[in-house]
Amino acid sequence: MPLDLPAMIRRSGNRRKAITFRPIKPTKALSDDLARLYMRVVSAWQQIALGRLLDIYAATLAQMTKDSPQDVQGELDLGEETIRRLLVSIFPDLRRWGVVVEEWHRNRFSGAALTATGIDLATVLSPVDVTETVGAVIARNVALIKDVSAEAQGRISDIVFRGITQRTPSRKVAKELREAVAMSRRRSLLIATDQANKLTASLDRARQEEVGIDQFLWRHSGKVHYRPAHKARDGNVYDWAAPPADLPGQLPFCGCRAQAYISFDDGTDSPSA
């Protein structure tokens, strides 16, 4: 049965016109944990590219026999298989990360509710209530890790085959491979920060709606690179049923938050014309 927190507050003899919960900001530790999962794939590609693959490349260049490019392809295929097994082992860790974030958020949300209303939701809220919300973000991250891996593989493959065609010295190819890995690393870090933010933003909405909070205050991120349209929304009250075109934390790298807002102002106090 869904909860009606505003009704519970009214019954407790509330005299305030509005109540806001403190916003829930994801910690760096949460995004770092996610980044580490992405990095396992990036590091594995680094080992493949700068290990045996580079040795085979150097040998290919030295001999330039007919079937050497096949050896390079064979090593890339082996690498792909290694990564495929690695991904299978990472996906359960990704789900565990979702479990940790959900628990962290649930504690923050019930803590904010207790501070703002005096009502303890800690034993009322359950992970089961947000299974879909968490599941959707985990599924998205499964796709993103696969994409980061495929992109790294594509870059590595391009570099070595272009190198063979152009007879690029091994040292230069090694440098290009290191740069390709660094690009994947940077992209992974950005994705992890963004995805940790998106999961907590989705949980904000799910928990607020679960306890009958149908409005939120837009809290601007305060980031250096912000969207002017989002800054303009700062402090505005929106209905979850009719929100702006994009929600807080939804667009890429948006750090804005939806702060739970309960209004008890039914208009009876305002002077009539």
Using CB under 5 A as the criterion, which residues of the chain lie in contact with Zn ion when the complex forms? 230, 254, 256
Minimum Å gap between C-beta 218 and Zn ion is 9
Nearer to Zn ion, 30 or 256 (CB): 256
Q: Over the range 61-90, which residues count as b (16 or more CB within 10 Å of their CB) and which as e?
A: beeeeeebbebbeebbeebeeebeebbeeb
Minimum Å gap between C-beta 201 and Zn ion is 10
Minimum Å gap between C-beta 224 and Zn ion is 12
Nearer to Zn ion, 185 or 257 (CB): 257
Nearer to Zn ion, 108 or 219 (CB): 219
Contact in structure between 141 and 34 (CB atoms under 8 Å): yes
Minimum Å gap between C-beta 253 and Zn ion is 8
- The pairing of strands 237-239 and 215-219 is antiparallel
Nearer to Zn ion, 140 or 227 (CB): 227
Nearest to 7 by CA among 161, 213, 203, 193: 213
Nearest to 31 by CA among 259, 258, 249: 249
> CA-CA distance, 144 to 139, in Å (whole number)?
9
Minimum Å gap between C-beta 46 and Zn ion is 34
Minimum Å gap between C-beta 100 and Zn ion is 25
Nearer to Zn ion, 148 or 254 (CB): 254
Nearer to Zn ion, 98 or 255 (CB): 255
Nearer to Zn ion, 105 or 230 (CB): 230
The structure tokens listed for 157 are: 């493959």
Minimum Å gap between C-beta 263 and Zn ion is 23
